[in-house]
A and B are shown apart, each in its own frame.
Chain A
Amino acid sequence: MFWPIVAIVVLAISPAMGWWFPTEAFSPLGKQIDNLFYMILIIVGITFIGTHIGLGYVLWKGVDNKAPKAWFSHGSHNLEMLWSIAPAGILMFISLYQLDVWTKYRVQSKFPKDMITVAEVTARQFEWRIRYPAPGKKLQPTPQPDDLYTVNDLHVPVNQRILIRLRSGDVQHSFFVPGLRIKQDAVPGTIIPVWFETLAEGDYDLTCAELCGWGHYKMRGRVLAQRESEYHAYLKQLAADQAYDGHGDARTGGADVVKVEKATDKK
């Protein structure tokens, strides 16, 4: 009896203790998604415990049954109805309950109106190629001569609603940022808008979530949420690096060396 009780107690307290997810969600939509997970946990938890109590009761009771003959059952219509309609009702509830989160995430007309389009992210075997517009300019659908390019390192301003345009350079990939609860497949031939908002500055892992070849496991990048001043400073630095003409700089020690910014704080 001890372990089942421990299991139930752990199940009951795990959401409050934050044991259910590797990190908390650092985006508002991510928190709503976490709530959906918890809702499912509750429904499934109750069902699981209930059915296993029932199972345990039947096993326990059955020991005392000295009846010599088995009882032939023709089935029970009521039972069939019950265990079709009840789960159907629960599933119907879940699918309707999550509709608004899905819509906010996926239906373009319901995207926030104040989004900033930060970059076009092209997934490619086995890296994330990022194209920013020049500082002060808007991102255009086609590459512009003054666009800024980098790899695997997506900087976004914190606490703002961000839009990226997700593309694929070759096969299917998936833009997965677990800390922000974002996952969107990158489908070749499509440009998919993905929006999110980060609530805290820091470094968020970006991994590929759609098997894309031998390097899928190491297709890592990062999303760095920075305060606006640092974000704009980063873009200016990127623009300066990209316009570097090497003149007068005998050694590359400064400008030619690739620098990667450290995250300000990892929550």
Chain B
Amino acid sequence: MRSYSHALLVVAVLMAGGCQSQRAPEFVLNSQTKALVPAAQDAVRNELQSAFGTPTKLTVWESLPVDFGKFEGKVTSVSDGRAFVKLAVASPNAAARRLPEMKGAAVKIKGADSGLVVASYNAETGALGTTGSDAAVLTADADVSVIGDGLQFGRDLYLRHCMHCHGVSGDGDGPTAKYFAVRPRDYRKGTFKFTSTKPTIRPSRDDIKRIIKLGVPGTYMPSFMLLPDDEVIAIGEYVRWLAMRGELENKLDVELGNDYSPDAAKDRQLKEVKQEIESKLSGKVTEFGTELTEDWNNAEDEGNVVTPVTARVPSDADSIERGRKLFISDKVKCFSCHGETGRGNGVSTEDFNDIPGGKPGEKSKVAGLFDIWGNVVKPRDLTTGIYRGGRRPVDIYRRIAAGIKGTPMQAFGGSLKDEEIWDITNYVFSLPYQNKPAAKHH
């Protein structure tokens, strides 16, 4: 009898684990890629894999403006075949902090691969133990750089805090996303709504950090105020990396889309198509990488921050009245989307509008306002006092001056003077506290 009960116990414990096997997380391809012929899809998948890797095995593409967790140092001495170097984190955005866990990381000397791999590193003494082809290259005074797993640190945090809404690939389609009326952001277009940068510029690191810390009130994006700064920065780096990956996929799709959609290429020989795609894409990823680097570095440029030229006009009754007049004017037409009472029920919500990101002048066949991610957009109800992108005067100024990227809220900074934007801002801030409509109903 004893042996049976032991066996039963073992079986019960094993069954308690459940029958589903755990799948490793994987990046998904976007819908445009999936619309290409299989040969083209494979090409895109392979390029993405070699440039970015998989969620469990990230590839380091050093030229991208992402903090991969690089450590740099100079060899101070060599003894017994052991090099001594004090490695320090290379960038001020210290997403890189996992110094001890660099085992297996490639050692570069003067920026070039040395064939050496980190076997051990003692942060206190600086003793660097390597294995690899030619340990003799580590001479005194050599410039050594090692890429630690700083991005993996961000990835681990992302998978814990963000993945369930934003998805493994940053596509805004994680397991919980389907329950939300307001969809989580799909990073893969490189477009983020609430930024401090000019209309054609990417979000800056500070913008992303701000959203993570403060959340987006009125949506399901919570505030991560209490996460330590270095964790928030690391998550931000991983988000930027996911966005760049998505943008690379878009660029590849544009490159291949015309010639390799099912209509264009369905009857062609596979081998021929593959060779053609290969030659078409040769060198392209490097070119696209340069574009990405430029785009995302521009976001950190101070000149690209939307900064008011004048101080805020005092919010007195006159300014609010001027703002109200602008709100209902034909020049700005705020009311056409936001409604005459500011409740977000303007006529555009029932009109056939331009397709976002489509050919200019081409109208959608479905009525209403849409964003570039294909979601229905409800213009903000300005009477609630909930401001998604922030409630400071500068935030509202930026929404009006630079618009909200990806949505029909356009940038009015070019057509309005600073004082006019401040007047509208003051009017907007007054809306939750008054009962009067902007204008009489027609």
Contact status B305-A153, CB under 8 Å: no
Out of B217, B226, B385, name the residue touching A143 (CB < 8 Å).
B385
A13 CB-CB contact with B under 8 Å: no
Which has the most chain A C-beta neighbours within 10 Å: B229, B309, B394?
B394
- Which of A150, A218, A251 has the most CB atoms of chain B within a 10 A radius of its CB? A251
CB of B393 within 8 A of CB of A244, answer yes
CA distance A145 to B432 in the complex (A): 9
Q: Which of A129, A214, A257 contacts B206 (CB 8 A)?
A: A257
B299 → chain A closest CB, angstroms:
12
Q: Tell me if A245 is interfacial: C-beta within 8 Å of chain B.
A: yes
B181 CB-CB contact with A under 8 Å: no
- Complex Cα–Cα for A253 and B397 (A): 18
**B394 and A129 contact, CB distance less than 8 A:** no
Would you call B433 and A242 a contact (CB within 8 A)? no
Q: Min CB distance, A244 to chain B, in Å? A: 5
Is B327 positioned at the interface, with any CB of A under 8 Å from its CB?
no
Which one, A153, A215, A243, A250, contacts B392 given CB within 8 A? A243
A: number of interface residues (CB 8 Å): 35
Any A CB within 8 A of the CB of B152: no
**Are the C-beta atoms of A153 and B226 separated by less than 8 Å?**
yes
Residue of B nearest to A241 (CB): B392
A92 contacts chain B at the CB level, 8 A cutoff: no
In-complex Cβ contact of A221 among B204, B209, B226 (8 A):
B226
A244 near B206 (CB under 8 angstroms)? no
Closest B residue to A250 by CB, please name it.
Answer: B302
Q: B307–A247 contact, CB under 8 A?
A: yes
Q: Shortest distance in angstroms between A234's beta carbon and chain B's nearest beta carbon?
A: 14
- Contact A125 B223, CB 8 Å, known A214-B176, A246-B394, A252-B206: no
Q: Tell yes or no: A233 within 8 A of B by CB.
A: no
Q: Knowing A152-B226, A215-B222 are in contact, say whether A258-B214 is a contact too (CB < 8 A).
A: yes
Chain A hits for B229, CB < 8 A: 260
Which of A143, A242, A249 is within 8 Å of B307, CB to CB? A249
Question: Count of A-B contacts with CB under 8 A?
Answer: 91
Taken residue by residue from 193 to 213, chain B's Cβ proximity to chain A (1 for < 8 Å, 0 otherwise) reads as: 000100000001010011001
Whether B393 contacts A245 by the Cβ 8 Å rule is: yes
A236 within 8 A of B: no
Q: A143 and B432: CB pair below 8 A?
A: yes
Interface bits B419-442 vs A (CB < 8 Å: 1, else 0): 000000000011011000000000
Asked if A256 contacts B206 (CB within 8 A), the reply is: yes
Instruction: Please name all residues of chain A whose beta carbon is closer than 8 Å to the beta carbon of B257 when the two chains form the complex.
Output: none
Which residues of chain B are near A243, meaning CB under 8 Å?
A: 392-393
Q: Does A185 contact B (CB under 8 A)?
A: no
Are B312 and A247 in contact, CB atoms less than 8 angstroms apart? yes
Which residues does chain B contribute within 8 Å of A221, judged by CB atoms?
A: 226
CA distance A251 to B197 in the complex (A): 11
Shortest CB-to-CB span from A15 to chain B, Å, is 32
Within the complex, which residue of A126, A248, A258 is in contact with B209, where a contact is CB–CB below 8 Å? A258
Q: Are A151 and B310 in contact (CB under 8 A)?
A: no
Which of under 10, 10 to 19, 20 to 34, or 35 or more describes the interface residues of B? Answer: 35 or more
- Asked if A34 is at the interface of the complex by the 8 Å CB criterion, the answer is no
Contact with A along B291-334 (1 / 0, CB 8 A): 00000000000110111111110000000000000000000000
Q: Could you say which residues of chain B place their CB within 8 Å of the CB of A257?
A: 206, 209-210
Determine if A256 and B385 form an interchain contact, defined as CB atoms under 8 angstroms apart: no
Question: When the two chains form the complex, which single residue of A143, A242, A252 contacts B305, counting CB atoms closer than 8 Å?
Answer: A252
**Within the complex, which residue of A149, A152, A214 is in contact with B391, where a contact is CB–CB below 8 Å?**
A149
Partner of B196, one of A152, A214, A256: A256
B129 neighbours in A (Cβ, 8 Å): none
A246 near B393 with CB under 8 A, answer yes
| B residues near A256, Cβ cutoff 8 Å | 196, 206, 210, 394
Contact with A along B173-199 (1 / 0, CB 8 A): 000100000000000000000001000
Q: Shortest CB–CB separation between residue A81 and chain B, in angstroms?
A: 45
Residues 212-236 of chain B, each 1 if its beta carbon lies under 8 Å from chain A, else 0? 0111010010110110010000000
Nearest-CB distance from B134 to chain A (Å)?
44
Cα A144 to Cα B430 in complex, Å, equals 10
Q: Which residues of B contact A151 (CB under 8 A)?
A: 214-215, 217, 223, 225
Q: Does A127 contact B (CB under 8 A)?
A: yes
A215, B221: Cα distance in complex, Å: 11
Q: Tell me, yes or no, whether A227 is within 8 Å of chain B by CB.
A: no
* Interface residue? A181 (CB, 8 A): no
| Distance in Å: Cβ of B138 to nearest Cβ of chain A | 38
Do the beta carbons of B391 and A242 come within 8 Å of each other?
Answer: yes
User: B310–A247 contact, CB under 8 A?
Assistant: yes
Please pick, from B176, B206, B225, the residue contacting A153 in the complex, using a CB distance under 8 A: B225
How far does the alpha carbon of A244 sit from the alpha carbon of B307 in the complex, in Å?
Answer: 11
Bound-state Cα–Cα, A146 to B215, Å? 21
Query: Which residues does A use to contact B, with CB under 8 Å?
Result: 125-127, 129, 143-145, 149-153, 214-215, 218, 220-222, 241-253, 256-258, 260
A sample of 6 more A-B contacts (CB under 8 A), given A127-B215, A246-B306, A246-B394, is A145-B429, A145-B433, A151-B215, A222-B226, A251-B302, A256-B210
Chain B interface residues toward A at CB < 8 A: 164, 176, 196, 204, 206, 209-210, 213-215, 217, 220, 222-223, 225-226, 229, 302-303, 305-312, 385, 391-394, 397-398, 429-430, 432-433
A-B contact pairs, 17 of them (CB 8 A): A143-B432, A151-B223, A214-B164, A218-B222, A242-B392, A244-B393, A244-B394, A245-B394, A246-B393, A247-B311, A248-B307, A252-B206, A253-B206, A256-B206, A258-B209, A260-B213, A260-B229
